[in-house]
Amino acid sequence: MVAVSRGNLASMSEIYQHRHSSLFRFFFRLTGRQTVAEDLTHEVFLRMIRYRHTYQSGDGFEAWMYRIARNAFADQLKKHRFETPAPEDFDTADKGALTPFESAVKRQELALLHRALRELPDDKRELIVLSRFQGLSYEQIGQIVGCETGTAKVRVFRAVKEMSGIFLALQKEKAS
């Protein structure tokens, strides 16, 4: 990114190669929509070029990139508020020797888990996505959302707890 910030736009291609998938997944987990996630990913790379002068080599690249991504997502929400759709089916084929019944139970459980995640408020879903799916450390999450590392840990804990509560309630609802 240092090379890009100095005007070498060709280096952006390498950054794209390494980061576009994870950035896409970040947006997909937040929006649940393929095209919206792809558009946002594209927008983030454009913004990285536009605001390349704001990148400082001492700062973490991940934190800088996700700050841009969060702003892009916030701008998108201002323009269009969308409901995260439920996936049609979950593939459990690679889960080893599951019986058809076990496989059906597993699929149902994943669907409920996915629903619990999308029923979370945006800020809490974002914390879970950053920590669980994007694999960022709490220190990085603190830099991205603007809080101390310890606070980031507590916030993620509370988000998972809330999601767990929703998940259990959905399971009960399904069983009754």
Partner 1 sequence: MMCGQAKEWIAASWTGELDEAAEAKLRRHLLSCPECAGEMSQLGGVWERMADLPTPEPSQAMRVRWESTLESLMANRKSTSWRFTLASLWPERPVWQATIAASCLVLGLAAGMLLQKPGDRREIATLREEIASTREMVALSLLQQQSATERLRGVDYTQRMPSMEPQVVSALIDAVQHDENVNVRLAAIDALGKVSRDAKVRQSLTHSLAAEQSPMVQAALIDYAADAGDPHASETLQRLSQRPDVNPAVRQRASKALSELTRYR
* Residues at the contact surface with partner 1, assessed by CB under 8 A: 9-10, 12-13, 16, 20-21, 24-25, 28-29, 34, 37-38, 41-42, 45-46, 49, 87, 90-92, 95, 106, 109-110, 113-114, 117, 128, 131-133, 135, 137-138, 150, 153-154, 156-158, 160-161, 163-164, 167
Q: Which is nearer to partner 1, 60 or 78 (CB)?
A: 60
Residue tagged 């998938």 (tokens): 21
Report the nearest approach of partner 1 to the CB of residue 80 (Å): 19
SS3 44: helix
Residues comprising the chain, all counted: 176
Q: Which is nearer to partner 1, 78 or 95 (CB)?
A: 95
Report the nearest approach of partner 1 to the CB of residue 70 (Å): 19
Report the nearest approach of partner 1 to the CB of residue 162 (Å): 10
15 and 5 in contact (C-beta within 8 Å)? no
Identify each DSSP E strand in 50-146 by its residue range.
none
Q: Which is nearer to partner 1, 38 or 122 (CB)?
A: 38
Backbone angles phi and psi of 6, in degrees to 5: -90, 5
Report the nearest approach of partner 1 to the CB of residue 100 (Å): 18
SS3 111: helix
Report the nearest approach of partner 1 to the CB of residue 143 (Å): 15
Q: How far is CA 132 from CA 47, 151, 152, in A?
A: 25, 16, 13
Rg of the chain over CA atoms, in angstroms?
18
